[in-house]
Structure 1
């Protein structure tokens, strides 16, 4: 009888600890992706351009269409590959003429980017609609002009019909309408994970080792910057308690105030290399380096392994995607230009 009582008390205590950890996480700003599709839609939708299945399907085609680039061989998916972590897996993004980003900047993941309050490493754009305009026009990336993009889309009757189907017969196919449609698709790229299930009340969604890792993550101050639904996406100071070991690779210094966008930790095991210049390939090494330069903590191997175990709980379920079949070009579609 005594042993049964002791076991019951142990289980109750363990349950309370787990519950308190979940509550503590939410109190310091760690928030889950809602389990309710209705609540999720409220978070990801754009009231100025509401999400519809027609817009999403059209946006997906445009996202995968390399003809929007000057060369005709680079699409949004080139640097933000949806078949893996939503990035390109190289240190510095490769763009037009096979040239690496001149600032040696790493491509951030597009997955869960709808939850970011700032887009780009310097946070210069507030939302996905504005962000989608940048890479298309940037010469080191897709190197296109607004005119090229509009001419490409309007030269293809199937695209014209799809825009009418999505927006109505009176739609004007402008550069902004095209990029807004790409952004509508990107808004749906959300990856709920076991971590979300845990914060939403499922105590056994993550393992005891991952719960211990979450506690280490909180205790070491990682959640100071990596918080919110995205566990990142806000602007914050960089090199607070030390200088990043690879700071001299590339010339990026942040925004005018030296602030840098905090990268999301969701699917972090799939988005190496790490940091703005992609110079750290090992996740445990990245954890230790962040502790040194951001919170002034000397994180040992055991603690880093604990945090890494928690981060694996952030590997989410990606939306089921079928490769879109793009409409055929016509005689008036702009020809590829490799210069």
Structure 2
């Protein structure tokens, strides 16, 4: 008799428990919006289908190679640190070069960079390979005098000639500047950083908390997605710095590349992935905290004065975009 009474009761408890395990209608709706407006980060970068393990291995060695700077003090990793929990930046306003002089822009993260539509703040390089060629010969950064000098160092090294030959088995002369840049780009194409927000988009409704979900709603409500959309939450367009309210800067941005008056003060919209780890912020590195960056962008780009509560909510959401292996 007791068994007959308790069995339906226990089953009803089980059904209630299972129902409570699923996402609420509100969370489901938010997941749909996240998928539509943002979308999960792809598992592979464009161009990586042709990258061999030998090419990636060579690229990684070159990425950390200080012989690529004139006084052998600087590597790609010096300004774009990917070691340990490094988020592909040096966390400085602007970066010192091989001889101590600083550049005039904040070093953007190399993480997920191969998904961007162009490289550098002003888009002067079309892709990772073109980008990799620049800093080595830049007099302020790595300061090598010529491609010829770079290749001389590599050819005189005990390991590089053989490593280039393995990475480029069909090339009669594998040690070239073009191949150096191609190898670095291949390594950088491995720097993909899936986040908890991707897990949320892909169906795990528990991947981000209620507070973080509220932050995403605040992010949408404030209009942040007018610039920061797509699976990078940016990195796919140019925008004028000071679109609504002027932002004082002497940097003319895209104009320096195109020389078109209408391009003055336009910069590539940065990706917000790993943004909680990559301060200080903006092209000049003058904004120290993420809270201030959110407030300033709302004011200068959207004409809004966010409250402390709204700012806190958005910052809470932005924390979900960090690489899961680089957060504590």
> What band does the TM-score fall into relative to the shorter chain?
0.7 to 0.9
Q: Work out the CA distance in 1 between the residues paired with 2:273 and 2:51.
A: 23
**Counterpart contact for 2:196–2:324, Cα < 8 Å:** no
Query: What residue number does 1:151 align with?
Result: 152
Change (3 A) 1:280 1:164: same
SS in structure 2 opposite 1:212? helix
Query: What residue number does 2:30 align with?
Result: 21
Residue 138 of structure 1: CA displacement? 0.8
**1:236 maps onto 2:239 in alignment:** yes
Q: Work out the CA distance in 2 between the residues paired with 1:82 and 1:171.
A: 33
**Counterpart contact for 2:195–2:323, Cα < 8 Å:** yes
User: Which has the larger Rg?
Assistant: 2
Out of 148, 167, 178, the residue aligned to residue 176 of structure 1 is: 178
Residue 82 of structure 1: CA displacement? 0.9
Residues 1-339 of structure 1 mapped to structure 2, 5 A cutoff:
15-28=24-37, 30-34=38-42, 40-41=43-44, 43-46=45-48, 50-83=50-83, 84-101=86-103, 104-144=104-144, 145-168=146-169, 170-172=171-173, 173-234=175-236, 235-244=238-247, 247-248=248-249, 251-256=250-255, 257-258=263-264, 259-318=266-325
Bigger relative contact order (CA 8 A; separation at least 6): 1
Structure 2 length as normaliser, TM-score?
0.86
**Counterpart contact for 1:115–1:229, Cα < 8 Å:** no
Which consecutive unaligned segments of at least 5 residues does structure 1 have?
Answer: 35-39, 320-339
Say how many residue pairs are matched. Answer: 301
Deviations 1:266-319, CA, capped at 9 Å, x for gaps? 111111100000001111111011100111221111011000110110111359
Deviations 1:126-161, CA, capped at 9 Å, x for gaps? 210101011111111011121121111111242111
Q: CA RMSD in A?
A: 2.2
| Displaced runs of 4 or more, over 6 A | none
Structure 1 length as normaliser, TM-score?
0.83
**Counterpart contact for 2:125–2:131, Cα < 8 Å:** yes
Residue 11 of structure 1: CA displacement? 5.2
Query: What residue number does 2:5 align with?
Result: none
SS in structure 1 opposite 2:124? coil
Q: Which is worse superposed, 59-68 or 155-164? A: 155-164
**Counterpart contact for 2:91–2:278, Cα < 8 Å:** yes
Residue 16 of structure 1: CA displacement? 1.6
Q: Which is worse superposed, 155-164 or 212-221? A: 155-164
Deviations 1:178-227, CA, capped at 9 Å, x for gaps? 01100110111111110011111111111111111011111111111112
Which consecutive unaligned segments of at least 5 residues does structure 2 have?
Answer: 1-8, 256-262
Q: Work out the CA distance in 1 between the residues paired with 2:204 and 2:291.
A: 27
**Counterpart contact for 1:110–1:189, Cα < 8 Å:** yes
Residue 13 of structure 1: CA displacement? 9.9
SS in structure 1 opposite 2:94? coil
